[in-house]
Amino acid sequence: MMARLLVALLVCIGCHGGDGGGDGGPSESTDSQTGNMHPLTPADEAAIAEYARDSCGLYFRCGVPLYQDLEACIEVMSCSARSLLESAPITRDQLLACSRSIAGITCDQTTVPMNNACMQLSATVVGALDLETGCDGVTCDSASYCDRSYSRCPRCAPRAALGAPCVGVECVRGGYCNTSTRLCEAVRMEGMACEQDSGCRQTGVFGPAAWLVCREGVCSAPAELGDACEDGSDCALYLACREGVCSELKRAGEPCTLHGECLQWHSCVQGACQEICGLKVQSIGEPCAFDLHCRDAFCDPDTSMCAALQAVSAPCSSSEQCAAGLFCDPASDTCAARGGDGAACQLHDACTSDFCNEQQCQQPICN
C-alpha cells in the first residue's frame, strides 16, 4: 500500500536543518551554523495548510492508522511543515509540488516514481540533515543489514537465519529475536500465541497497518478507543493508555503528566501539553521532550526545558548534556575532558576519536 510514498512523507515530518536556496517566494532558510529562524509569510501558511490537508487526505483515504482523526492529523502535519519551511532548505514551491502530486497516488501503489515531488522533498531534507541513508555509502541487500554497533564503522552484516542466535544482530526478514530463547523465530500472525510485541507482525501488509501487539499471550490488533489496556503499547498509535483505558491524545493546553499523553509533536511541559515542531529548534529556556529538540543545549528532564550544556565537573547523566570536548564520566557522574590518542579510557565517549580499544583511546579501526 503505497509504502514508499509513506516513507517519503514520514521522513520529512519534523525534519529541519542545513543551508539551501529559495526562489524568492518562500521564507529564507536557516543558517545551519547559527540556527536562525525566519518568519513565514501568509503565502507560506497557505502552502502549509494545503500540504497538511492533502497529506492527511492520503492517510485517511488509504486507511493508514497514524492519527485519531482528520483534525489531529492536520494539526500535526501543519506543525511539522511549519518547522520545515522555517528552518530547512526547502521552498514553498517544493512543498506545494509534493502536495499536488499526492492527488495522483493510489492506495495500491507499492512503488512511487523517483521523480515524485514528495521523494524529492524528502531527499532535500535528508541531505540537509546529513542523515546516513546507506551504510557507509553502501546499500545493503535484503539478506543483510547495516550493523551500527560501532557508529564510526557501519558495515553490511548478514542477517541471522531462523533458529540462529540473535543477540546483537538482526534476524532475516519475516523473523524476530525472541528475548527468552535469544534465537531468531518466525513472526507470528494475528491470533497466534506470542510472548512479546516484536514477535507479532501481519506479513504482506505495509506500514503501520502491519503492526500487531501481544495482548494476553495472543497476537492481536492494537486496542482501540475505550478498550482496556495495561500500557501505551497496547493501544493504537494515535491513542494513549490512561487509567487502564485507551484514550485520545491530548492537545495543546490540556493537562498531562507524561509526554506520551500528548498529540504527536507535542510534549508534556510543566503539567500541560505544548506544541514543539521539528528537531533542534528550541533555545535555552524553551520547552522540550528530548535532547534533539534543543539547539546547542540539552533537555533537562526535571523541567522539560532546554538548558545550557554543562562545563567540566558539572553533574550529568549523559554525554549529550556536556559541552563540546567533554563526556559524562560514569565514575563521577560529572562532565570531564575527552582524552586524545593514548589516553586511558573505559568508554568510546571518553576519547576525542570516539574509539576506546583495550582501555586506550585510539583512532578508529574498522574491520
User: By three-state DSSP, how is residue 129 classified?
Assistant: helix
Asked if 223 and 234 count as a contact pair (C-beta separation under 8 A), the reply is yes
Reported as a pLDDT band with limits 50, 70 and 90, residue 25 is very low
CATH of 222-276, one of 2.60.120.1440, 1.10.3720.10, 3.40.50.1370, 2.10.80.10: 2.10.80.10
Q: Which residue type is seen at 351?
A: C
Give φ, ψ of 209 to 5 degrees.
-65, -20
Extract long-range pairs of 330-335: CB within 8 Å, 24+ residues apart. 335/310, 335/311
Number of H helices, E strands in the chain: 5, 16
Q: Which residue type is seen at 274?
A: Q
Reported as a pLDDT band with limits 50, 70 and 90, residue 147 is confident
CA–CA separation, 312 vs 328, rounded Å? 9
Q: What stretch(es) of the chain map to CATH 2.10.80.10? A: 222-276
Q: Which residue type is seen at 85?
A: L
Asked if 229 and 258 count as a contact pair (C-beta separation under 8 A), the reply is no
Reported as a pLDDT band with limits 50, 70 and 90, residue 130 is low
> Could you read off the pLDDT of 267-286 as tens digits, one per residue?
888 889 888 876 677 889 98
User: By three-state DSSP, how is residue 54 classified?
Assistant: helix
Asked if residue 361 has pLDDT above 90, the reply is: yes
Reported as a pLDDT band with limits 50, 70 and 90, residue 15 is very low
CB count in 10 Å sphere of residue 259: 17
pLDDT score for 207: 62
Asked if residue 29 has pLDDT above 70, the reply is: no
CA–CA separation, 204 vs 248, rounded Å? 29
| CA atoms 330, 303, 77, 210: torsion sign | positive
Average pLDDT over residues 116-121: 82
Computed over every residue of the chain, the mean pLDDT equals: 81
Q: pTM higher than 0.75, yes or no? A: no
CA–CA separation, 153 vs 24, rounded Å? 41
Average pLDDT over residues 294-311: 90
Give φ, ψ of 69 to 5 degrees.
-160, 170
What element of type H or E holds 147?
Answer: strand 144-147
Asked if 3 and 110 count as a contact pair (C-beta separation under 8 A), the reply is yes
What element of type H or E holds 35?
Answer: none
Q: Which residue in this structure is represented by grid cell 512503488?
A: 111
pLDDT score for 31: 41
Asked if residue 178 has pLDDT above 90, the reply is: yes
pLDDT score for 204: 64
